Amino acid sequence: MSAILPPTYDRTGRHGLTPEVTHDDAARFNFLTNLNVYLGQRVFPGIKQAFEKRVKPKHLARTGVDFTSHRDIRDEMRADPYYQAWAALRVNTMEMRQQAGRHVVLRQYDAMTEKIRAANAGKNTLQLDDKVTVPEYLSQVDNHWMPGSYYGEIVPGDAGAVASYEVGLFVTTAGSMSAFGDGAGRAIVKFVKERFPNFQPKRILDLGGAFGINSLPLAAAFPDAELVVMDVGAPALRYGHARAQSMGYTNVQFVQANGEHTNFPAESFDWIQTTMTLHETSANAVVNILKECQRLLKPGGLMLHLEQPNFAPETPLWERFTRDWDAWYNNEPFWAKFHTMNVFDLMADAGFARDTHFDGRAKADIEAGRYQPWAGTLSRHSPEQKAAMSQQESARKGEGWYLFGATKST
């Protein structure tokens, strides 16, 4: 198998808020990207071998029965030296990405904060609300080892950690998410245009949209619509608003609110979107958010969620183990519970009639040829290569993103 090479960091897109990235910063990101690719393609597949050849036989010898829980697989894998090396490298690589991204942003902290302040000053398209509090499900641990998460501030009024999140995103996604990291947003647009070709939304809400990285493709695809990016975190909204302004978007608002109970009037949106948001909430919050979607949607409106598919009864224990890994070790704790929830029952309980439910897949639409000169190499995965990639990578590069949703009955 020939090596699958990611694009180099210099191919990423730049906007008015992009910090200065030196030659050596880019080289560091190139190293970390290639390390991530190697860990995903070459090291990760071996943990299944370690399980089959060592962990499972030991378990069978001791207990006489096969595994009945993927949490038992997790706990017994902890003793395997090969698995230890992969897991330790994976956590460490994420920490290195966060550190490198933070250093880029923090050393030009004043200039960036001033740029954000200038871009946002006097704009009514940024609506912050200091009465909005960060829910416990976001504040107990920092998602994916990002110090400060999406809502933390270093100095009051700043953009917090999200700028460094954007700088380092390339490392974790190996450039598979398009020049501006918005591959999921592009996939959503493609899905909606194909599935609902006559849909012409006037108001769109991206609930939990953080700094709008995957929201802006919606605003670009429907230029006559008004897009509201809503999040609990003021720093993400400050940064996102200034970023969108610098990219020339005039039809996007950034509003601070909690998606479980917003102040928007009932029936005020044609389309409500969440993108990789629900799995970072809680079991109660998901119920509340779906009820809020039901309240906020106009009759006939579209609710759409982009997530990893949840477990089916027949989902093998090994797959459950690998897919819950980020819940246990990448600080996304609700994901394990969310994997076991039935999204169709949740939507029905929130008032969405079952005959309006749907799901499907959408592939990220990246600019082959411009952004990835070797895009052809990247897209031609053999079945063995696909199997070797982590679940998330295969969702992004293989069969595409999973989407589910419903429409509000008229």
Partner 1 sequence: MTNIDVNALANAKAKGERPYFFDDPAVERVLSITMAVAAEVAVLRERMDTIERLMESGTAVTKASIDAYKPDDNAARERQEWHAAYVARILRIIHQELQALEDESLNVSSKKLADAQADQ
Tell me how far CA of residue 172 lies from CA of 6, 40, 78, 349, 396, in angstroms: 11, 10, 24, 36, 12
Between residue 129 and residue 168, which ones bind partner 1 under the rule CB under 8 A? 139-142, 145-149, 154-155
Residue 119 Cβ vs partner 1, minimum distance, rounded to whole Å: 18
Q: Which of 1, 13, 14, 53 binds partner 1 (CB under 8 A)?
A: 53
Q: Which of 13, 57, 68, 103 binds partner 1 (CB under 8 A)?
A: 103
Residue 149 Cβ vs partner 1, minimum distance, rounded to whole Å: 8
Please provide the size of the chain in residues: 410
Q: Is 395 helix (H, G, I), strand (E, B) or coil?
A: helix
Q: Which stretch binds partner 1 (CB under 8 A): 42-50, 179-187, 281-289, 358-366?
A: 42-50
Structure tokens at 77: 């894998």
Is the distance from CB of 242 to CB of 119 less than 8 angstroms? yes
d(CA 48, CA 408): 43
Of 117, 92, 2, nearest to 39 by C-alpha is 92
User: Looking at beta carbons only, is 140 or 410 nearer to partner 1?
Assistant: 140
How many alpha carbons fall within 13 Å on the CB side of residue 289? Answer: 27
Q: Which of 84, 127, 288, 392 binds partner 1 (CB under 8 A)?
A: 84
Tell me how far CA of residue 68 lies from CA of 87, 132, 272, 320, 341, in angstroms: 23, 43, 39, 12, 19
Residue 213 Cβ vs partner 1, minimum distance, rounded to whole Å: 20
Q: Which of 16, 18, 59, 95 binds partner 1 (CB under 8 A)?
A: 95
Give residue for tokens 């999921």: 184
Binding mask 301-340 for partner 1 (x = CB under 8 A): ---------------------------xx-x---------
DSSP string, 327-346: HHHSS-THHHHHHHS-HHHH
User: Looking at beta carbons only, is 103 or 386 nearer to partner 1?
Assistant: 103
CA 73 to chain centre: 26
Task: Cite the DSSP H helix spans in 333-404.
Answer: 334-340, 343-349, 375-379, 383-388, 391-397
Q: Which stretch binds partner 1 (CB under 8 A): 25-33, 183-191, 292-300, 392-400?
A: 25-33
Q: Which of 14, 42, 261, 354 binds partner 1 (CB under 8 A)?
A: 42
Footprint on this chain of partner 1 (rule: CB under 8 A): 3, 5-8, 10-11, 22-24, 27-28, 30-32, 34-35, 37-38, 42-43, 46, 49-50, 53-54, 78-79, 81-89, 91-93, 95-96, 98-99, 102-103, 106-107, 109-110, 113, 139-142, 145-149, 154-155, 328-329, 331, 373-374
